[in-house]
A and B are shown apart, each in its own frame.
Chain A
Amino acid sequence: MSVKIGILYSRVRTDEKMLLTELRERGHEVEKIDVRDAQFAIDEAGSVFADLDLVVDRCLATSRSVYATQFCAAYGVPIVNAAETATICADKVKTSLALEAAGVPTPATTVAFTEESALDAVEAFGYPCVLKPVVGSWGRLMAKIDSRNAAEAIFEHKATLGHYEHKVFYVQEFVEKPGRDIRVVAADGEPIAAMTRSSDHWLTNAAKGAETDAFDVGEEVAELVAAASDAVGGGLLGIDLMETGSPHDAETASGDDSPASYTVHEVNHTAEFTALDEAVDVDVPAAVVDWLELKAEAADAADAHLEVTV
């Protein structure tokens, strides 16, 4: 079955290019929708949305992603990821609350709205701890706070220079990870592939130049990924975990395996997969398109069902 898929984008990165190539090679029709040109009327879908079986949100800007997905939902156009997922994942506070409510282990986090209360939160966590912007990406503007002096300086800078979103202080415990974190790309909670990202720097984002290696998803990680995915409403997600406690492959003196525990610290709704595709044997864009085909067919079936029952 050939489907017509709309791609919401503003920059064609390697990720989008791989998706476009895979879709076209399989004979699907692709409608590229540049969100910088698109207009979204509240009462009516633009003609660009007519006849699409599925829209894929690949907006580079979080704010555009949040609104564009809501318009698609209002227009009745099937979209991945869903507006609900984008809204939760775009905001670290909402993500933390969703993970906590679902019982997914996530780093201890406190939010404060003034410099004074944020400083109290930092002192309560102790040093080092981490300050993150509630919106923002690629690990930018994240601060590891090592001392009270540093905390005071950072809060003053944020209060003076920051956008209003920087007046929300998201303070998090510093997790002593073994120099790496784990990125799992999953489709509706089902892992497609995973990698570790290692760096001497405390930030181990691929965008920050971390070294990547394939990672085998075990049962515990698979369960956490499924739970984290459900918590934010599912979809194609990049889920980041850190190992806590014993290293994954460590053996104790008694010879017992000491499996690591994990904490989920980030869920990305416009997941990048180029670095993952290079790190693993799985053909990641092919797996993503397999899933998109399923979503398009499911949307089509739901649509047919509606026409029959109405």
Chain B
Amino acid sequence: MTTCSVCGAELTLHDDAEAGEILDCTTCGAELEVIETAPPVLERAPELEEDWGE
């Protein structure tokens, strides 16, 4: 169990969560990045940059 760094809502990570994965906070909708899985650490995901993506 961890908390959203934006709204503070409680979140539970999936068992197979990976560092670097992006999650949506179901409470506030913020994009969160999984920084660590054990113990879970979440940060607000970086904004989209123009050269991102295929």
Interface pair A11/B20, CB less than 8 Å apart? yes
User: How many Å from the CB of A148 to the closest CB on chain B?
Assistant: 27
A84 adjacent to chain B (CB < 8 Å): no
A210 adjacent to chain B (CB < 8 Å): no
In the complex, what residue of chain B is closest to A9 when comparing beta carbons? Answer: B20
Interface pair B54/A136, CB less than 8 Å apart? no
Interface size class of B (residues with CB under 8 A): 10 to 19
A138 adjacent to chain B (CB < 8 Å): yes
B18 adjacent to chain A (CB < 8 Å): yes
Chain B 1-54 interface residues, beta-carbon cutoff 8 Å to A: 16, 18-22, 33-34, 45, 49-54
Interface pair A136/B51, CB less than 8 Å apart? yes
Assuming the contacts A238-B54, A268-B54, A271-B54, asked whether A61 and B18 have C-beta atoms less than 8 A apart, the reply is: no
Residues of A with C-beta under 8 A to B19: 12, 32, 34
CA distance A32 to B54 in the complex (A): 20
CA distance A138 to B49 in the complex (A): 11
Interface pair A61/B51, CB less than 8 Å apart? yes
A-B contact pairs, 9 of them (CB 8 A): A11-B21, A17-B21, A61-B51, A61-B52, A133-B50, A135-B50, A136-B50, A138-B53, A270-B54
CA distance A11 to B53 in the complex (A): 10
> 6 other contacts beyond A17-B21, A34-B19, with CB at 8 A cut-off?
A11-B20, A12-B18, A32-B20, A60-B52, A61-B49, A238-B54
Chain A 1-24 interface residues, beta-carbon cutoff 8 Å to B: 9-13, 16-17, 20-21
Q: Contact string, A122-143, partner B, CB cutoff 8 A, digits 1/0?
A: 0000000000010111101100
A207 adjacent to chain B (CB < 8 Å): yes
Residues of B with C-beta under 8 A to A207: 53
Residues of A with C-beta under 8 A to B18: 12, 16-17, 20, 32
Interface pair A141/B50, CB less than 8 Å apart? yes
Q: Contact string, A95-127, partner B, CB cutoff 8 A, digits 1/0?
A: 000000000000000000000000000000000
Residues of A with C-beta under 8 A to B50: 133, 135-137, 140-141, 163
CA distance A296 to B49 in the complex (A): 32
CA distance A207 to B48 in the complex (A): 13
In the complex, what residue of chain B is closest to A206 when comparing beta carbons? Answer: B54
A196 adjacent to chain B (CB < 8 Å): no
CA distance A60 to B33 in the complex (A): 14
CA distance A138 to B48 in the complex (A): 11
In the complex, what residue of chain A is closest to B21 when comparing beta carbons? Answer: A12
User: How many Å from the CB of B23 to the closest CB on chain A?
Assistant: 11
Interface pair A34/B51, CB less than 8 Å apart? no
A147 adjacent to chain B (CB < 8 Å): no
Residues of A with C-beta under 8 A to B22: 11-13
CA distance A69 to B19 in the complex (A): 22
Interface pair B20/A62, CB less than 8 Å apart? no
Interface pair A272/B20, CB less than 8 Å apart? no
In the complex, what residue of chain A is closest to B54 when comparing beta carbons? Answer: A268
CA distance A39 to B14 in the complex (A): 30
CA distance A60 to B51 in the complex (A): 8
Most buried by A among B34, B49, B50: B50
